[in-house]
Amino acid sequence: MKLSSTQGHWNYESCGGFDLVPSSNANPPRVELWDVFDVPQHQIDASWKNLTYTLSDLFCASINFLESTATYSFP
Protein backbone atom coordinates (compact mmCIF):
# COMPACT_ATOMS: atom_id res chain seq x y z
CA MET A 1 0.00 0.00 0.00
CA LYS A 2 1.14 3.53 -0.73
CA LEU A 3 -0.62 6.58 0.69
CA SER A 4 0.50 10.15 0.11
CA SER A 5 -1.37 13.20 1.27
CA THR A 6 0.15 16.55 0.42
CA GLN A 7 -1.17 20.08 0.36
CA GLY A 8 1.44 21.94 -1.61
CA HIS A 9 5.10 22.69 -2.12
CA TRP A 10 7.28 24.83 0.11
CA ASN A 11 8.75 27.79 -1.77
CA TYR A 12 12.40 27.50 -0.78
CA GLU A 13 13.49 30.49 -2.85
CA SER A 14 11.31 32.99 -1.00
CA CYS A 15 10.91 31.22 2.36
CA GLY A 16 14.38 29.73 2.81
CA GLY A 17 15.49 26.30 3.85
CA PHE A 18 16.87 23.33 1.98
CA ASP A 19 14.79 21.10 -0.29
CA LEU A 20 15.49 17.54 0.88
CA VAL A 21 13.24 16.03 -1.79
CA PRO A 22 13.93 17.13 -5.35
CA SER A 23 10.83 18.41 -7.17
CA SER A 24 11.07 15.49 -9.59
CA ASN A 25 10.45 13.09 -6.66
CA ALA A 26 7.86 15.16 -4.80
CA ASN A 27 4.18 14.23 -4.78
CA PRO A 28 1.76 16.82 -6.18
CA PRO A 29 -0.89 18.35 -3.90
CA ARG A 30 -3.58 15.70 -3.53
CA VAL A 31 -4.33 12.39 -1.90
CA GLU A 32 -2.99 9.37 -3.71
CA LEU A 33 -3.68 5.81 -2.60
CA TRP A 34 -2.34 2.67 -4.22
CA ASP A 35 -2.98 -0.86 -3.03
CA VAL A 36 -2.77 -4.41 -4.29
CA PHE A 37 -5.35 -6.81 -2.89
CA ASP A 38 -4.77 -10.53 -2.63
CA VAL A 39 -8.47 -11.39 -2.73
CA PRO A 40 -10.80 -12.81 -5.40
CA GLN A 41 -11.87 -10.32 -8.08
CA HIS A 42 -15.44 -10.06 -6.74
CA GLN A 43 -14.15 -8.88 -3.32
CA ILE A 44 -11.95 -6.02 -4.54
CA ASP A 45 -14.62 -3.31 -4.36
CA ALA A 46 -15.55 -4.27 -0.80
CA SER A 47 -11.87 -4.45 0.19
CA TRP A 48 -11.21 -1.02 -1.34
CA LYS A 49 -14.20 0.47 0.50
CA ASN A 50 -13.04 -1.07 3.79
CA LEU A 51 -9.51 0.25 3.28
CA THR A 52 -10.58 3.80 2.42
CA TYR A 53 -13.00 4.03 5.35
CA THR A 54 -10.37 2.69 7.75
CA LEU A 55 -7.72 5.14 6.50
CA SER A 56 -10.24 7.99 6.66
CA ASP A 57 -10.80 7.26 10.35
CA LEU A 58 -7.12 6.79 11.07
CA PHE A 59 -5.95 10.00 9.38
CA CYS A 60 -9.10 12.13 9.95
CA ALA A 61 -9.35 12.69 6.20
CA SER A 62 -12.05 12.13 3.60
CA ILE A 63 -10.18 9.40 1.77
CA ASN A 64 -13.39 7.39 1.49
CA PHE A 65 -14.78 10.15 -0.76
CA LEU A 66 -12.21 9.64 -3.52
CA GLU A 67 -14.11 10.10 -6.76
CA SER A 68 -14.77 6.94 -8.70
CA THR A 69 -13.77 8.81 -11.87
CA ALA A 70 -10.29 9.14 -10.38
CA THR A 71 -10.11 5.49 -9.28
CA TYR A 72 -8.43 2.90 -11.43
CA SER A 73 -8.66 -0.85 -11.11
CA PHE A 74 -6.94 -3.49 -13.16
CA PRO A 75 -6.22 -7.18 -12.67
Q: What is the pLDDT of residues 17-29, one digit of tens each?
A: 766 666 666 665 6
The C-alpha atoms of residue 47 and residue 7 are separated, in whole angstroms, by 27
Q: Can you give the chain as a three-state secondary structure string?
A: CEEEEECCCCCHHHHCCCCCCCHHHCCCCEEEEECCCCCCHHHHHHHHHHHHHHHHHHHCCCHHHCCHHHCCCCC
**pTM over the 0.85 mark:** no
The predicted structure's pLDDT at residue 13 = 73
Give the Cβ contact number of residue 32 at 10 Å. 13
* Mean pLDDT, the chain cut into blocks of 10 residues (75 residues total): 76 68 62 88 89 91 75 66
The C-alpha atoms of residue 54 and residue 21 are separated, in whole angstroms, by 29
The predicted structure's pLDDT at residue 39 = 92
The predicted structure's pLDDT at residue 33 = 86
